[in-house]
Structure 1
């Protein structure tokens, strides 16, 4: 028997993920593709198309009732371009109509709670904090990209680690293992600062973000320079959250992104939230399911389908589910 299908897609600089979901919040299909940078000269629609095809494999596209795409940068002057990219991917598959396009912030919040009001702090490749009201972003802080902001993000951690490592090599900074750890990941000699600089300059921002675990691992093993970077990252993230959502007790706080999934930065952020008097933060599931949750709500799915989807996604990922919000 034919069933209604909704699609949720979450596209960032590192990866693109798409989930196909039934009207009662059960996952039906899933697709993954490389990142889709809407401001690059590449073809981001191709990544969206690949993820869409993966999610729809074995399903009848005629059953698709609604879709929500969350694209990084859609709310910062890139809305028209993001909508065009989404529609191009949609048309290549031959689906009727088109998806609703929003930003990755609203999707991240919906990946942690089925409620409409609260705050979200994201730290992955980039970093941004926002206050969400009625399911829409009311105010935000940072998210300005790696060159001008994204403080506390994976790219920020990597750049600070590189700077500390180079400072140790040329005598400006104290001893640290960061240059050795990062050089190993970049596959260059540890003591060759010129080689380290050349390798770093060849990396795209998302590739730089992949160096962040070298910094957090060093901090976990007591490297003083890395510990300072991690502490600074947490404070910058908390500062962004405080600016975007001053009242931490007004609704849940959702934490999203690889940096806040676990590790020393996440631990420090959680401790800072406790000091602010906020309740236990909610951990976001895969953003594709958050986007699918928004699609469920927009499609008139039964009340509770979004919360059920988040619980199932959390259970499948081996973690306790987010609190359902009536």
Structure 2
């Protein structure tokens, strides 16, 4: 049996699979990004134990964890592995690699992820050879859920104090953060103070990933035609597309050189790009002009496929099992 784990900023998924690619167990828990989650090992352990229910741990021959910040993620991954009663050590790779291998059996291509965080990567022979962004909520992750949440809250506050244009985001952010009926007509300064205090408190209590909960607020307002929200989402799309072009080495995005040159598929991953969001609409439309786009599925099966390929090597069964795993993926 082989284990695959995908630990993101807001959730962790785990699958246990046999050597022919059949999935024997699934588990899910909270986020496992060491940058934005206080105790990633606890959530990794919970996902592992959920997937291993009914499976003898002694049958596990190997595992791959796809996690952000590989260097800092190795210790919590190994601790969770031991706590789950598993022998040996798991292999820890980048979360972008398992997102890629969870969507395609091709060895080469690229991947763009926009969920809680955001990153782009070039993949060759199932190894990440180039990356852009993925710098965390404070220094980067441009176009991510956290980035959108920060911009959303800031736009609402700018509208309240007059530095920005009027926007639906004032009422929507107030409702999301403070509860229904929080946005009055004549309480601008008081409302701003309450919002600032509440946002900082939430981040202190739940970590920066909480800001991503505001991403649907700005995306919905953009779909409804709010110009301020449309500006925020449009800027997120431009930044994500720039990240994709950088990792693909594509200087003229509409030339089609990437696809004609056999660059491989460009996998779009993360909830912001795989769900029917306004951001996804903009990014797919732009990148689809020059690349063959493939939607990500379940990165945990990509991690399991890497574990299985590491054990079976060039055995043709590895490719067949990889295809079978992708076919069973759950978005």
* TM > 0.5: yes
Residue pairs, 1:148-163, within 5 angstroms: 148-163=139-154
Is the partner of 1:112 in helix, strand or coil? coil
Counterpart residue number, 2:121: 130
Are 1:115 and 2:129 counterparts?
A: no
Inter-partner Cα distance in structure 2 for 1:160 and 1:8:
34
Q: In the TM superposition, what are the counterparts of 1:256-271 in structure 2 within 5 Å?
A: 256-261=269-274, 262-271=276-285
Asked if the contact 2:9/2:37 (under 8 Å) is kept, the reply is no
Q: 2:238, 2:55 → 1: CA distance?
A: 46
For residues 39-92 of structure 1, what are the alpha-carbon distances to aligned partners after superposition, in whole Å with 9 as ceiling and x for unaligned? 468332221111111000001111111210111111xxxx1x322221111111
Query: 1:121 Cα shift?
Result: 0.2
Contact 2:132 2:246 in 1 (8 A): yes
Contact 2:66 2:93 in 1 (8 A): yes
1:158-187: CA deviations, max 9, x gaps?
111111111111111111001211111112
Are 2:193 and 1:194 aligned?
Answer: yes
Measure the CA separation in 2 of the matches of 1:222 and 1:33.
35
Kept in 2, the 8 Å contact 1:125–1:205? The answer is: no
1:291 equivalent among 299, 303, 306: 303
Deviation at 1:282?
A: 0.8
Does residue 219 of structure 1 match 2:222? yes
From 9, 16, 41, the equivalent of 1:13 is 9
**Cα root mean square deviation, aligned:** 1.5
1:308 paired to 2:320: no
Q: Which moved more, 1:247-256 or 1:121-130?
A: 247-256
Q: Give the Cα–Cα distance (whole angstroms) in 1 for the partners of residues 244 and 211 of structure 2.
A: 24
Q: Encode CA deviations 1:81-126: one digit per residue, 9 max, x unaligned.
A: 3222211111112211111111111111112112111000000000
Aligned to 2:268: 255
1:238 Cα offset (Å):
0.4
Q: Identify which range, 188-197 or 131-140, moves more after superposition.
A: 188-197
Cα deviation code 1:237-269 (max 9, x no counterpart)? 000111111243211000110110121111111
One of 44, 48, 58 as aligned partner of 2:54: 58
Matching residue of 1:321: none
Aligned residue runs from structure 1 range 269-280, under 5 A: 269-275=283-289, 277-279=290-292
The structure-2 alpha-carbon separation of the partners of 1:26 and 1:255, relative to structure 1 and needing over 3 Å to count, comes to same
Q: Aligned equivalents of 1:174 and 1:40: distance in 2? A: 31
Go from structure 1 to structure 2 and tell me whether the alpha carbon gap of 1:167 and 1:39 turns closer, same or farther (over 3 Å shift). closer
**Which moved further from structure 2: 202-211 or 39-48?**
39-48
Gaps of 5+ in 1: 318-326
* Number of residue pairs the alignment of both structures matches: 304
1:274 deviates by 2.5
TM-score by length of 1: 0.89
Aligned to 1:182: 173
Aligned to 1:324: none
CA distance in 2, matches of 1:140, 1:82: 18
Secondary structure of residue in 2 paired with 1:97 = coil
Counterpart of 1:104 in structure 2 is 95
Q: Distance in 1 between matches of 2:39 and 2:150?
A: 27
Q: Residue 322 of structure 1 aligns with which residue? A: none
